[in-house]
Chains A and B, each alone.
Chain A
């Protein structure tokens, strides 16, 4: 069991990190920033993404976001297994934030006093200050605002990193998400030609480590802290009990399957803050894949499966050519089928016989 006091011990480490930071604040830059336009964005829960321009209009600006941290129990599979989740804005993963290169991302992070733990945010896209983690550690009842310059393009993970053993525990309790920094003139293919997407979906993959009782059933706990000791034991075995997309087995299937049409181009952003994964679209491909997620590198073409390193976010651009139900899976198929990492696309449109035809339907084997 972890007490509030122990949780805040992480705060002490964070505070030390802050104190160690030299006072870099260059007033000239601050004056420049004061003159920039501001835009306030309302975030939406994954797999959807807030409206945004693919090609930036005008010069760099300050893009403001607000995220409220919610600690709450979430059901993560059909059997009702409960995770004492820690979330950015109530969802696993946290929402995708989109800005353009040279914009300033300004985040107000709120930790309501209904929570019991200290939290912060480490942006892999940010430079210095432990990705912002050193400047954002807040106790229940506090809020903080961080601004960083989006200097590099690509998709990047953000996650909670409140110090020591708290870091992996908070991450595998749900505290991760991604941001996308688009080039100001939009995405380009391997030949430098502009490419656009009609739809964007954000898939955040999580590995969960739920302790079991002596009969093998998943345990539930009154609070996150109550489960801490048991969960760390499972975590140290490195074998997740659940590997899921968007917080839950089946969160992107059935009623919640992602929808597209033949001819539509879809950008799928996929993050995994903790563990390697290998997305695969069954019956489809990655036309252009930024496997490492960084748009300054030319995308790989025509991939069958792509590799997302633990602690990174990548993206794949695909134009659907054939209607049907597509499964989008982590192609460790044990993780996809047994542990939960499966999503579905429902794609409407006309069938293309040229691409595929069942020449002869199943029938008894010819005997002569």
Chain B
């Protein structure tokens, strides 16, 4: 993945999104044994976002609270999901476990068949070989980046206090209504197109790991906020055509499943880059921040 192929970025870049792969390569350039992925920096924005996890109030399931979130600082995120070839480099380096993918996938397809643990191992290795600080995005960051491709929770799920089955039935139907094409074979990167921020392949047939833990929250009966919550960081949130929760070691959506419904086709990921103070200053100096 050369950082120099900026021309593949669509013209539809939103004002808040700036491709910076080239600039950063220029700045950090020579000491990198591994090419840096093309990235896009999101500068600002706000989203109305259903918080992940499960919510209860007075013992009954609630719709996920939808909250407005502001992007508080610039977010640099990979334009494409991590590629199978890049992941294979980490495997060759003896750091990553091989992806659980045996199908004949295109050489420039995203990596699939990777668990949360695999994604983190890759982020550590990738940080080392590129000299950057890379990590999985939080669920909220992912939602910002996915923009109009963000699906989150299903619409139309009913929470009938007297009939818990309404929730199960309506969420099952919502999943059916996604009308997913039964074509889980990973495709060449870019096959699922770009979103309005110039980021590729969101919500295609590869779900993406986030760094957000599954959490069960009990809301106060009087609406005053959170009464209690329990995190389970053995399970993380994945985003894609719909939100999913999977155990950290699962690399195949088929065996993890989301409830009784349709599981994710494939599990993959993309990374975000953190900037220490001076990198931010350079970004500012370049007129990007």
Residue in A80, A344, A347 whose CB lies within 8 Å of B260: A344
Does A302 touch B at the CB level, under 8 Å?
no
Residue in A253, A324, A344 whose CB lies within 8 Å of B165: A324
Does A217 touch B at the CB level, under 8 Å?
yes
The smallest beta-carbon distance between B263 and chain A, in angstroms, is: 9
Interface range for B: 20 to 34
B172 (CB) vs chain A CBs: closest residue: A325
Asked if A324 meets B169 with Cβ closer than 8 Å, knowing A351-B164, A358-B164, A361-B59, the reply is yes
A323 contacts B182, C-beta separation under 8 Å: no
Q: Mark A328-368, 1 if CB is under 8 A from B, else 0.
A: 00000000011000001011111101000010111110000
Which residues does chain A contribute within 8 Å of B176, judged by CB atoms?
A: 254-255, 257
A254 to B260, CA, bound (A): 9
A325 contacts B228, C-beta separation under 8 Å: no
A254 (CB) vs chain B CBs: closest residue: B176
Asked if A324 meets B168 with Cβ closer than 8 Å, knowing A217-B102, A351-B163, the reply is yes
Does A78 touch B at the CB level, under 8 Å?
yes
A78 contacts B163, C-beta separation under 8 Å: no
Does B104 touch A at the CB level, under 8 Å?
yes
Q: Mark B164-184, 1 if CB is under 8 A from A, else 0.
A: 111011001101100000111
Which residues does chain A contribute within 8 Å of B162, judged by CB atoms?
A: 351, 353
A272 to B83, CA, bound (A): 43
B60 (CB) vs chain A CBs: closest residue: A361
A327 contacts B260, C-beta separation under 8 Å: yes
Asked if A325 meets B169 with Cβ closer than 8 Å, knowing A337-B255, A361-B56, the reply is yes
Does A215 touch B at the CB level, under 8 Å?
yes
The smallest beta-carbon distance between A146 and chain B, in angstroms, is: 38
Interface range for A: 20 to 34
B265 (CB) vs chain A CBs: closest residue: A78
Does B216 touch A at the CB level, under 8 Å?
yes
Does A79 touch B at the CB level, under 8 Å?
yes
B185 contacts A80, C-beta separation under 8 Å: yes
A362 contacts B260, C-beta separation under 8 Å: no
A362 contacts B56, C-beta separation under 8 Å: yes
B102 contacts A216, C-beta separation under 8 Å: yes
Q: Mark A201-222, 1 if CB is under 8 A from B, else 0.
A: 0000000000000011100000
Q: Mark B252-276, 1 if CB is under 8 A from A, else 0.
A: 0011010011100100000000000
B103 contacts A79, C-beta separation under 8 Å: yes
Residue in B164, B182, B230 whose CB lies within 8 Å of A364: B230
Does B218 touch A at the CB level, under 8 Å?
yes
Asked if A364 meets B59 with Cβ closer than 8 Å, knowing A324-B165, A324-B169, A351-B163, the reply is no
A364 contacts B228, C-beta separation under 8 Å: yes
Residue in A255, A338, A350, A358 whose CB lies within 8 Å of B163: A350
Which residues does chain A contribute within 8 Å of B175, judged by CB atoms?
A: 254
Does A322 touch B at the CB level, under 8 Å?
yes
Residue in B184, B254, B262 whose CB lies within 8 Å of A254: B262
Which B200-228 residues sit within 8 Å CB-CB of chain A? 216, 218, 228
A149 to B163, CA, bound (A): 49
Which residues does chain A contribute within 8 Å of B265, judged by CB atoms?
A: 78
A338 contacts B255, C-beta separation under 8 Å: yes
B184 contacts A79, C-beta separation under 8 Å: yes
A217 contacts B168, C-beta separation under 8 Å: no
Which residues does chain A contribute within 8 Å of B254, judged by CB atoms?
A: 78, 338
A337 to B255, CA, bound (A): 7
Residue in B102, B165, B168, B172 whose CB lies within 8 Å of A215: B102
A322 to B162, CA, bound (A): 12
Which residues does chain A contribute within 8 Å of B166, judged by CB atoms?
A: 323
A358 contacts B168, C-beta separation under 8 Å: no
A359 (CB) vs chain B CBs: closest residue: B59
A282 (CB) vs chain B CBs: closest residue: B260
The smallest beta-carbon distance between B196 and chain A, in angstroms, is: 30
A338 to B185, CA, bound (A): 18
The smallest beta-carbon distance between A313 and chain B, in angstroms, is: 26
Which residues does chain A contribute within 8 Å of B262, judged by CB atoms?
A: 253-254
A78 to B205, CA, bound (A): 12
The smallest beta-carbon distance between B201 and chain A, in angstroms, is: 19
The smallest beta-carbon distance between A364 and chain B, in angstroms, is: 5
Which residues does chain A contribute within 8 Å of B182, judged by CB atoms?
A: 78, 80
Which B115-151 residues sit within 8 Å CB-CB of chain A? none
The smallest beta-carbon distance between B269 and chain A, in angstroms, is: 21
Choose among B104, B164, B175, B183 the residue with the greatest number of A CB atoms under 10 Å from its CB.
Answer: B164
Which B89-117 residues sit within 8 Å CB-CB of chain A? 102-104
B169 contacts A363, C-beta separation under 8 Å: no
A364 to B255, CA, bound (A): 28
The smallest beta-carbon distance between B113 and chain A, in angstroms, is: 12
A142 to B262, CA, bound (A): 43
Which residues does chain B contribute within 8 Å of A347, judged by CB atoms?
A: 165, 169
Which residues does chain B contribute within 8 Å of A349, judged by CB atoms?
A: 165
The smallest beta-carbon distance between A185 and chain B, in angstroms, is: 36
B104 contacts A363, C-beta separation under 8 Å: no
The smallest beta-carbon distance between B244 and chain A, in angstroms, is: 15
Which residues does chain A contribute within 8 Å of B216, judged by CB atoms?
A: 362
Which residues does chain B contribute within 8 Å of A253, judged by CB atoms?
A: 262
The smallest beta-carbon distance between B242 and chain A, in angstroms, is: 13
B169 contacts A348, C-beta separation under 8 Å: yes
29 A-B pairs with C-beta separation under 8 A? A78-B182, A78-B254, A79-B103, A79-B184, A80-B183, A215-B104, A253-B262, A254-B175, A254-B176, A254-B261, A257-B172, A323-B163, A323-B165, A323-B166, A323-B169, A324-B165, A324-B169, A325-B172, A337-B255, A337-B257, A338-B254, A344-B172, A347-B169, A348-B169, A351-B165, A353-B162, A361-B60, A362-B216, A362-B230
The 4 A-B residue pairs with the shortest CB-CB distance in the complex, in nearest-first order? A323-B165, A361-B59, A324-B165, A351-B163
Further 4 A-B residue pairs, CB within 8 A, beyond A346-B172, A360-B59, A363-B228: A78-B254, A255-B176, A347-B169, A363-B218
